[in-house]
Amino acid sequence: MMLKTQRPIMKRLVALALVALALPCLSTHEAEAQRGRRRPSGGESSLSQLPIVRERLSNGLRVVMNPDRSIPTVAVAIYYDVGSRNEVQGRSGFAHLFEHMMFQGSANVRKGEHFTFIDSRGGDMNGTTSSDRTNYYETLPSNDLALGLWLEADRMRSLAITAENFENQRETVKEERRQSYDNRPYMNSILRINELAYGDYWPYAHSTIGLMSDLDAATLPDVQAFFDAYYPPNNAVLSISGDFDPAEAMVLVRRYFEDIPSRPVPAYDPGPINPQTGEIVERMTDPLAPFPAFHVNYRIPPSREADHYALEMLGLILGDGESSRLYRILVKEQEICQQLHVGTDDQRGPDLFSVFGIMAGTHQPAEARQVVYEQLEAVARDGVTARELEKARNRVASYFVFGIEETLQRAQRLAEFEMYYGNAELLRTEINHYNAVTRDDIQRVARQYFGPTQRTVLDVLPPAAATGANP
């Protein structure tokens, strides 16, 4: 799992869509340059020397600590092993609903007071939901570590699940759906391509935001049952990074968390995904889209499987930076696309290799898709060059270095590795898997996963272009 790709695919594609609307001439590469990204000397040494302390409480709470005395701040991140993939049909959107519910107060913290406590210390906080997990975090001055731990423990122990809070947050989620999806160009196409690509594989086919009809049908007992099932300490990882002493931190962790009882957690066993038997092609009209766009997706193995590393490297070679193959052809040379994303979605379960582009001028999706197919065929036939692989390795080193620059980044990455793969210490050697990828590996996976019958295609057309567009 490359550190650059921790943002869910939804947010990456939304970023491209918004850039296309606001700054049509600004490339993704240029946007990164404007953020002041520096070139690192390498990723192996900083990772291999990363201090990591792992503990487990008697109630099953896993604790990961990364002491760093270089700056007087601390980050607290808590990850719950529940995402939209854990939802049952008819009850979609619950994982994301709880991202909101968790800020509605608890036994000793009134509604909205969590924000007040953190803001008064000059800190930062938030929560996010993905298919694979839900997380919450705080960054604080290091002398306020106890506050961050106490706040997280109080809502784990005694979240205020009331009819009033439920109704308020249900309406908040509906408004979020309207603002973030229904009233933004390309957003519903991102939901639709996942439905098409995953087919009847419910865990990843349905969206994290969920169906509003499911939320409308939900009852307060349904919501309480979801919290009881997925929010006990034995289904969580607590990660701390920054200026603190691990022994002293564990005294606080035990004080605030150890008396929270564990509870049974539902097993996650969705079974295998059914094989795709042919190309899937669909067109949709987006009344808000100013330009046509396209998605081309291929099913690939989960993150951290051997082939996934080679596929991630291929994603960099094809679409990361102005000199990458598809970006160079589609954006710079032929000016068919104004924006382009290529890469893996990095799911814990069956994953997708995604290509998403927003067209430039009067160009149509079929033109861009043909270039994509030709380049994938070229890699399968001829492989990639030694220079392309070297550049991809340099990119990986950059992403690993800058992916753990800040204490919050480290806390989040360590929590993910502990939760997803059972051991946060695997982060120290993760870059080695990318450096071990060969040109033969990349050519082999291109042949194996990118056949015409293995792809899912969705063209997105503005209303004026929908009639008579080429399929």
Q: What is the mean pLDDT of each run of 10 residues along the chain (471 residues)?
A: 51 47 35 35 68 98 98 98 97 96 97 96 97 98 98 98 96 94 96 97 97 95 97 99 98 99 97 96 98 98 97 98 97 98 97 98 98 99 98 95 92 98 96 98 99 98 70 50
pLDDT attached to residue 46: 72
pLDDT attached to residue 1: 73
Bridge pairing between strands 280-285 and 455-461: parallel
Structural domains in the chain, CATH included, are 3-43+274-466 (3.30.830.10), 52-257 (3.30.830.10)
pLDDT attached to residue 119: 97
pLDDT attached to residue 104: 97
**pLDDT tens across 339-360, in order?**
999 999 999 999 999 999 999 9
Cα(362)–Cα(383) distance, rounded to whole angstroms?
Answer: 32
pLDDT attached to residue 47: 82
Cα(101)–Cα(95) distance, rounded to whole angstroms?
Answer: 10
Cα(255)–Cα(271) distance, rounded to whole angstroms?
Answer: 39
Kindly report the pTM of this predicted structure.
Answer: 0.91
Within a 10 A sphere around the Cβ of 447, how many other Cβ atoms? 15
